[in-house]
Amino acid sequence: MSLKEQIESLGKEAVELIKKAENLSSLSALRVEYLGKKGKLKNILKTLGKLPPEERKEIGQLANRVKEEIETVLKEKEGELKAKALEEELRKNRIDITLPSGWIEAGSSHPVISTLIEISETFISMGFSVAEGPEVEEEKYNFDMLNIPPDHPARDMQDTFFVNKDGFVLRTHTSPVQIRAMLTRKPPIAVIAPGRVYRKDADPTHSPMFHQIEGLMVDENVTFKDLKGILKIFLESVFGKDVKIRFRPSYFPFTEPSAEVDIGCTVCGGSGCRVCKGTGWLEILGCGMVDPNVFEAVGIDPEKYTGFAFGLGVERIAMLRYRINDIRLLFENDMRFNHQFKGIR
């Protein structure tokens, strides 16, 4: 076969194979095979130098034409195969835009926390500031300085969780924060102390962990009337003007006189249910005038100053507010229950 025929047949062969190529990698292999530095075309042209000059020119031009033709076909085929590959890719990764998208649920406040925040804000708006204390508390703050000495029967009133460190307990109420506030501040004092407290208690209205908000006001001439007035404003702001409030005489070692406040049961409307234990009322807080013994323990002159204190149960208020008939529902973390309070605050 003459050189001219060899080049023409090589061109035909290459074009045929390129047209049949099934994918981009076999196409690139063909490019190397026919047009590469050590490719078939270069190989044939090695003998070009042996030809007479006039033939050399003609063959050179033919080789260029064949090369261009192969390149054109390669390019066309490449475009075609790329489009095919893209189509394939799109077909595989097809997205059904009519399907509902995956969702990330937005969180919201737990009813106990939103109640705690709302109550705190009511007191803050009346000029109280927020004080804090530890949940693992020294017995002297939780009991002794609150006029509850070790052998005092009042220690039994609150079923205490002890910790394996002498002199410390899980605080049974937020009242130790009163002591901490009076040790570090000078009258006039007006603080609230929201936080978790712990007791060995469990029934529809008692939980082993619950939240209290302590309140304390100390100044000259603070009276029981001030206490009643502040509590009335607070209760009306949380439950509305029609709320039924009842003050009952009570006893706490750290206040004298002492009282407990009940709210007309909103779960049954007062007719009696398991939340109010059939009485139509639910106890929500304890309060009273700060006992002079407590003032003496913290170094405040009881002749000059008087004060009131209260400690309210946040879960009880949340239960009355949202008509929840078992305190334990608040801590079971059943999302069907929790979802009902979404967007409430």
Residues at the interface with ligand FA5 (CB under 6 A) = 158, 173, 175, 199, 201, 206-207, 210, 212, 252, 255, 258, 283-288, 309-313, 315-316, 327
Closest CB to ligand FA5 among residues 72, 223: 223
Produce one character per residue of 291-314: b if its CB has 16 or more CB atoms within 10 Å, e if not.
bbebbebbebeeeebbbbbbbbbb
Closest CB to ligand FA5 among residues 14, 142: 142
Closest CB to ligand FA5 among residues 77, 173: 173
Query: From the CB of 108, what's the least distance to ligand FA5, in Å?
Result: 23
Query: From the CB of 311, what's the least distance to ligand FA5, in Å?
Result: 3
Closest CB to ligand FA5 among residues 203, 220: 203
Query: From the CB of 181, what's the least distance to ligand FA5, in Å?
Result: 12
Query: From the CB of 317, what's the least distance to ligand FA5, in Å?
Result: 8
Query: From the CB of 143, what's the least distance to ligand FA5, in Å?
Result: 11
| Closest residue to ligand FA5, based on beta-carbon distance | 313
* Structure tokens belonging to residue 102: 């995956």
Of 342, 321, 328, nearest in space to 234 by CA: 321
Q: Are 198 and 172 in contact (CB under 8 A)?
A: yes
User: How far, in Å, are 5, 56, 204, 308 from residue 9 at the CA level?
Assistant: 6, 18, 96, 110
Closest CB to ligand FA5 among residues 8, 256: 256
Q: Which residues pair with 303 in a beta bridge?
A: none
